[in-house]
Amino acid sequence: MSDLKATVKETTSNTGHTGFHVEGYEKIEYDFTFIDGVFNTENPNLADCYKKWKRCLAVTDQNIYNVYGQQMERYFEHYGLELKVHKTKIGEKAKTIPTLLGIVDSMNEFGIYRKEPVLVVGGGLVTDVAGFACAAYRRNTNFIRIPTTVIGLIDASVSIKVAVNYGNYKNRLGAYHAPIHTFLDFTFLRTLPTAQIRNGFAELIKISTCSHLDTFNLLDKYCEQLIEQSFGRADGSSRELIEAADKINREGIHEMLKLETPNLHEIGLDRVIAYGHTWSPLHELVPETPLRHGHAISIDMAYSATLANSRGLITDAEHRRLLNLFSRTGLSMDHHLFNEEILAKGTAAILKTRDGLLRAAVPNPIGQCTFLNDVSADEMNAALKRHKHLMREY
């Protein structure tokens, strides 16, 4: 939720022309609540958000509804709240304007009031598109976010960015629109496919590699257990693993928030959490079968680590430790379409996004970050050739 305070004053330029100067400051505030079992009827937290309206429009992924739909219906029925659910099937190539317009149609049919919050339940793709629909509907409609994947919980939940893809350009159309509340319920991970656990694991490697060594060490120590035991939420998880997972999740989210909140509108373009996001946008959308976000950024991170190692920013041991962690996690580190042409296209695209500078975030050393702006095409291509050679060992 935001509130704008602004002033206006008359001005006179050096040439004698008069005019006005407007200066405004927008207050943005939104909350996070850690809660296991957000749809359990003994937890009224979510229902309390809808008591005023006596109803709720929810937007969710069809797969999520197949698993949790009946529980959602029972929850709202228990609290005497009418529930209407818009179900969507969404992948990276369906993260488009037509998908957004389908959500807008449901909002229109439901008759959403200006301040009435839409409930968005799902992974980062769903929360991105539905959040953008809310940003566009009457220019500003509230929403409440319940992420259900590792990426949704760790990464998408932290940012206020919402967007859709346009052609082969990832998140080319979007806005900055904060939810009024985000409920973080890690029990959703019990039913999340292992492939999606891996996908989200990449975001934790991202933030820890460049900003939080303690979390990186925990990921390195518990890697396989975290994936196999759904971050300690699967039946039979040890107390040690649960405590480690909770520490990873909380510290990962907290670190992301500390880095992002001073720069919610990305006015500052040197962003630590952009590690793995320099060349990855093209990886996601260029292949005929699109790569999951985690695999796309892990290719970028692995290559960026090779580039950093070639420059002496991380040692050979650190470089291998990173590559080994990607390998143990089951994340991609290379792709047959990752070649000099894609490298050049990705570089040209990101230079426009980053105001003419590369600003490639790389570890220096693990747990800290530096930004590279002076990398020539020859150096990038040499690092790519070396990276391809290293990948033969994995």
Whether 1 shows a pLDDT value over 70: the answer reads no
User: Please, which pLDDT band fits residue 90 given cuts at 50, 70 and 90?
Assistant: confident
From CA 164, how far away is CA 151, in angstroms rounded? Answer: 17
CA-CA distance, 264 to 82, in Å (whole number)?
34
pLDDT score for 266 = 86
Give, in order, the Cα–Cα distances in Å from 53 to each of 111, 138, 376, 391. Answer: 12, 18, 57, 56
CATH number of 194-391: 1.20.1090.10
What would the pLDDT profile of 4-43 be if each residue is shown by its tens digit? Answer: 789 999 999 999 999 999 999 888 899 999 999 999 999 9
Q: What are the residue ranges spanned by the domains of the chain?
A: 31-191, 194-391
Tokens 């793709």 sit on residue: 125
Asked whether residue 286 carries a pLDDT value surpassing 90, the answer given is no
Bridging pattern class, strands 143-147 and 118-122: parallel
pLDDT tens by residue, 142-153: 999 999 999 899
Give the model's pLDDT for residue 2: 58
- Beta strands 369-372; 31-34: pairing state: unpaired
Q: Is the pTM of this model over 0.85?
A: yes
In CATH, the architecture of 31-191 is 3-Layer(aba) Sandwich (3.40)
Beta strand extents in 225-368 (DSSP E only): 360-363
